Amino acid sequence: MAGSADVVFAGGGVIGLSAAWLSAEQGLTVRVVDPEPGRGAAWVAGGMLAPVAEATFGEEALVGLFLDAAARWPAFASRLTEATGMETGFQECGTVAVALDASDRAEIDQLLDFRRELGLDTSRLSASECRSLVPGLSPAIRGGALMPGEQQVDNRAVVLALIEACARAGVDLVAERVASVSLGRDGAADGVLTEGGTLIPAGTVVLAAGAETPRIGGVPAGVIPPVRPVKGHMLRLRATGTGTAAGTAAGTAAGTAAGTGQAFEHIVRGLVHGHHSYLVPRADGSVVLGATAEERGYETTVRAGAVHMLLDDARLLLPGIDEWELLECIAGLRPGSPDNAPFVGPTSVPHLVLATGHYRNGFLLTPITAQAVAAYLTTGTVPPPLDAFPADRHLSAAPPAGT
């Protein structure tokens, strides 16, 4: 491995890869050290770019960041495709939220009010309007809401394109696991040490290992904020057989995605007796069904109970799902932060930078984070709006590294 790079990223998930790509495009020499780039939470995710549907009441401060992030996606997706010739699955497909009982309906009405306060296009839907937008919905649905303009990407297509974009921009991808950050005599970060014992020197180290970030050694206590793993189960299905929206006359009449190969046109967010679930239709005919949110530490075993719960809720929304092909059951770890906002920017250790804590919104926040990291590495300043979320907030609550 030749010489010291300007910057080394410990972790090449959607955040590390995108920031590495844009940094290399700014003329920096960049290495990404990751045993399996793109195979963390990014591989599991739903790929929804949902600035408000994912925010809850009390998170108003975050919504400005999320809206700004969403607005950057169309240009970012085009730039990624131009750089690689690869598709990202970016679509402005809109979301239909549906309620199964009266209290679910009331919760969706609250979301409608919140969106209207923000000036976002939203309309209340009757049960039959929901069913005409999403053929196959259960007759038990109590109504819902249409949120046009909500976007999605194909999460796996995005990380594969980012790996290609990094390669084309000259980023050196090193397939090793980082054991620790190397600190020089002056206490500044000067590279990373891999589990294989290799020192990879660099002018700046960016910790971008998602939920695993606090487990990277060598960093003094009190420097890394409390990032925790929040497990999410996800299923992938293919809408085939009877009772699905794909290819039905109803789908065609309703102007849905029938005939395009996509099972239905909109993302469907369901509230099922207080449980949140979602179905994201992909262009290839598959449908992503998610997701659980579990505090179980660092383990990604697929549990039968979680799969059962996801399917149970989904079949109350779309009874025809019983006939669908079950393609995959998988679980991943979201990098959770105490206030659901990411940690992007410098730490108290010179030349040690964080890009983690993106929790449920790592894809949504990819362009804005990548641009902020590249800007920080080239100018020394984290640009707005991410500068309002400094990486050293919440430090008093940080657990010791490695727990």
d(CA 317, CA 269): 10
Contact 146, 133 (CB under 8 A): yes
CB of 293 to ligand FAD, least distance (A): 8
Phi, psi torsion values for 268, nearest 5 degrees: -110, 120
d(CA 64, CA 242): 43
CB of 230 to ligand FAD, least distance (A): 8
CB of 38 or CB of 89, closer to ligand FAD: 38
CB of 272 or CB of 333, closer to ligand FAD: 333
CB of 234 to ligand FAD, least distance (A): 4
CB of 233 to ligand FAD, least distance (A): 7
Q: Is the dihedral of CA 35, 41, 44, 49 positive or negative?
A: negative
CB of 331 to ligand FAD, least distance (A): 7
CB of 328 to ligand FAD, least distance (A): 12
CB of 399 to ligand FAD, least distance (A): 17
DSSP H/E element including 43: helix 41-44
CB of 54 to ligand FAD, least distance (A): 7
CB of 39 or CB of 394, closer to ligand FAD: 39
Write down the H helix ranges in 169-303. 249-253
CA-closest candidate to residue 65, choices 332, 279, 344? 344
- Which residue is closest to ligand FAD by CB? 13
CB of 11 or CB of 136, closer to ligand FAD: 11
Q: How many helices (H) and strands (E) does the chain have?
A: 10, 18
DSSP H/E element including 95: strand 95-99
CB of 124 to ligand FAD, least distance (A): 24
CB of 195 or CB of 323, closer to ligand FAD: 195
Q: Which two tokens stand for residue 259?
A: 């005939």
| 65: number of Cβ within 10 Å | 23
Query: Exposed, middle or buried: residue 132 (CB in 10 Å: 0-12, 13-18, 19+)?
Result: middle
CB of 122 to ligand FAD, least distance (A): 19
CB of 95 or CB of 256, closer to ligand FAD: 95
Residue found under tokens 């309007």: 129
Distances 96 to 55, 276, 282, 317 between C-alpha atoms, Å: 16, 13, 15, 12
Looking only at the bridges linking them, the beta strands covering 178-183 and 189-194 are antiparallel
d(CA 127, CA 96): 11
CB of 201 or CB of 319, closer to ligand FAD: 201
Residues that bind ligand FAD (CB under 6 A): 10-16, 33-42, 44-48, 177-178, 208-212, 216, 232, 234, 290-291, 332, 334-335, 356, 358-364
Contact 344, 372 (CB under 8 A): yes
CB of 255 or CB of 297, closer to ligand FAD: 297
d(CA 221, CA 213): 13
CB of 188 or CB of 293, closer to ligand FAD: 293
d(CA 111, CA 129): 18
CB of 254 or CB of 267, closer to ligand FAD: 267
DSSP H/E element including 204: strand 199-207
